């Protein structure tokens, strides 16, 4: 519990609000065989990390200091989570698995499954979407920290499905449409997130929305607008 508390406190300084523990054996029991993690013991502690729009002001500060890279949000999350975990260096044997790691990486974790077994957000296998009981679809998991020498023995939180059948039917249709569009039609992707009222108060605002869903502008134009936020105009 001290590890989770200390990590959550450090992450909050970077705008992260999700920091939930789980037993990695729970993850391996649900994950596909090629997504399972080799464990040193059956009860190893994992912590899933995520954020919603509260992260954006912190990301803006990072952009102002470091500039925009090819993948600025992934770079910020890598920086923030790595910094927050440094307190454990030399104390625990841990490893960070980021959401932008693909199955081609030596270490890949299906992060939605991790979020589900942590009791954070219900992962619906029919729609392929995770729904948070507070944030709805307006959140994202960014990393999992695996502690190789710490066990987690508390009981698992059980989640109930969040979506009703009508909502699932609509989301499944939109998801199929998005897949047929190779996930490139940002309008369809935005329609999925807007398809339920839950978490609507956490909906992204411009220019942040334009970065993640560049429908009327480019990502670079959105980044430029983000950096200029709050600065006086001439």
Over residues 101-153, the pLDDT tens digits come to 887 776 789 999 999 999 999 999 999 999 999 999 999 999 999 999 999 99
pTM for the complete prediction? 0.94
Q: How confident is the model at residue 232 (pLDDT cuts 50, 70, 90)?
A: low
Strand partners, 51: 140
- List of residues 6+ apart from 133 with CB closer than 8 A: 121, 122, 162, 198
Q: Per the structure block, which two tokens stand in for 173?
A: 């249709």
Dist CA 5 CA 140 (whole Å) = 20
The pLDDT assigned to 109 comes to 94
Instruction: Provide, rounded to the nearest whole percent, the portion of the chain with pLDDT above 70.
Output: 98
Task: Give the pairing type, strands 44-51 and 94-98.
Answer: unpaired
Dist CA 99 CA 121 (whole Å) = 15
- Bond into 51 cis (ω within 30): no
Dist CA 92 CA 88 (whole Å) = 6
Find out whether 120 and 31 touch, Cβ atoms under 8 Å.
no
Find out whether 145 and 46 touch, Cβ atoms under 8 Å.
yes
């Amino acid at each position: 519990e001290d590890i989770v508390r200390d990590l959550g406190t450090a992450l909050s300084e970077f705008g992260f609000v999700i920091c939930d523990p789980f037993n990695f054996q729970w993850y391996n029991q649900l994950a596909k065989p090629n997504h399972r993690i080799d464990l040193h013991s059956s009860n190893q502690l994992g912590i899933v990390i995520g954020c919603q729009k509260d992260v954006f002001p912190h990301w803006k500060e990072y952009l102002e200091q470091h500039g925009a890279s090819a993948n600025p949000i992934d770079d910020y999350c890598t920086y923030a989570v790595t910094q927050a975990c440094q307190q454990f260096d030399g104390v625990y044997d841990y490893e960070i698995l980021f959401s932008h790691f693909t199955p081609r990486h030596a270490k890949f974790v299906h992060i939605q499954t991790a979020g589900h077994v942590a009791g954070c957000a219900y992962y619906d296998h029919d729609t392929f979407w995770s729904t948070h009981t507070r944030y709805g679809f307006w959140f994202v998991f960014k990393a999992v920290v695996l502690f190789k020498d710490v066990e987690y023995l508390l009981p698992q939180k059980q989640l109930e499905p969040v979506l009703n059948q009508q909502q699932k039917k609509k989301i499944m249709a939109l998801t199929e449409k998005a897949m047929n569009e190779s996930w490139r039609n940002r309008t369809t992707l935005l329609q999925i997130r807007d398809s339920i009222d839950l978490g609507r108060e956490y909906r992204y605002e411009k220019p942040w929305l334009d970065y993640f869903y560049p429908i009327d502008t480019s990502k670079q134009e959105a980044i430029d607008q983000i950096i200029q936020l709050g600065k006086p105009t001439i």
